[in-house]
Structure 1
């Protein structure tokens, strides 16, 4: 397990599994309350869970060492996350989860493009082909029905 816990693919797969659960559970929950209220409840619970995790693991002591640059980018990331969540819950409120989620996962395509443009990452022709398939697959699932 130690080897797996240090492996980014392990955590990425878990992220995908939890994201799938999020879509189904959020769809069930958002059907009972306004989308923005659902986002607030989700955010409050996540904040509590992560605060406990940071405290229990002793990571809180690193907070004073965070640089202004890191605060800036983490702050922008928080704004983007909040906007994403608000839009996602609104979409789930209005549409079927099986169609909303694939469009949301177009973020994979956007990340690839932005990582190349702003982070200097390079993708092979095979990787770009995969990104194209993701985009095509998302469009098929979301709009072909």
Structure 2
């Protein structure tokens, strides 16, 4: 079942790139990121409230808060850089290079989370890295 959500994530990420490229035309990318963040904030809280999951907030630990805040900071910085890259480059180049994050996440998951590195996973990461190099140069 996880792969269905992963494929939907990929679809929405692709739509994000297309919609953003049109939306940032003639707009400061930091402002565009701020608008996008507000929309996501409203959407995320609407889903939490609709599903009735808001009572779980009291159960968040200090570790949960710390790493969710760090994740939010990383996401915000990623969006700021992504929108600037989209403004300066082509979606067909920026979006795939942005997916180098997959290979980086694989390396970091092995180093910091102790996840196993299989031949299949390593091969996929190397292919992503090679594809990114091809697109950049």
TM range (shorter): over 0.9
- The residue that corresponds to 1:92 in the other structure is 86
Moved more, 42-51 or 123-132: 123-132
Aligned residues: 137
Q: Deviations over 1:48-85 (max 9, x none)?
A: 01111000100101001111110000000011000000
Q: With structure 2 as the length reference, what TM-score do the two structures score?
A: 0.96
Tell me whether 1:62 sits opposite 2:56 in the alignment: yes
Structure 2 residue runs of 5 or longer lacking an equivalent are none
Q: Tell me, what secondary structure is at the counterpart of 2:127?
A: helix
- The residue that corresponds to 1:110 in the other structure is 104
Q: Distance in 1 between matches of 2:134 and 2:39?
A: 34
Q: Tell me, what secondary structure is at the counterpart of 2:116?
A: coil
- The residue that corresponds to 1:48 in the other structure is 42
Structure 1 residue runs of 5 or longer lacking an equivalent are 1-6
Q: With structure 1 as the length reference, what TM-score do the two structures score?
A: 0.91
- The residue that corresponds to 1:20 in the other structure is 14
Deviation at 1:141, TM superposition (A): 2.9
Q: Distance in 2 between matches of 1:32 and 1:15?
A: 28
Runs of 4+ in 1 over 3 A off after TM superposition: none
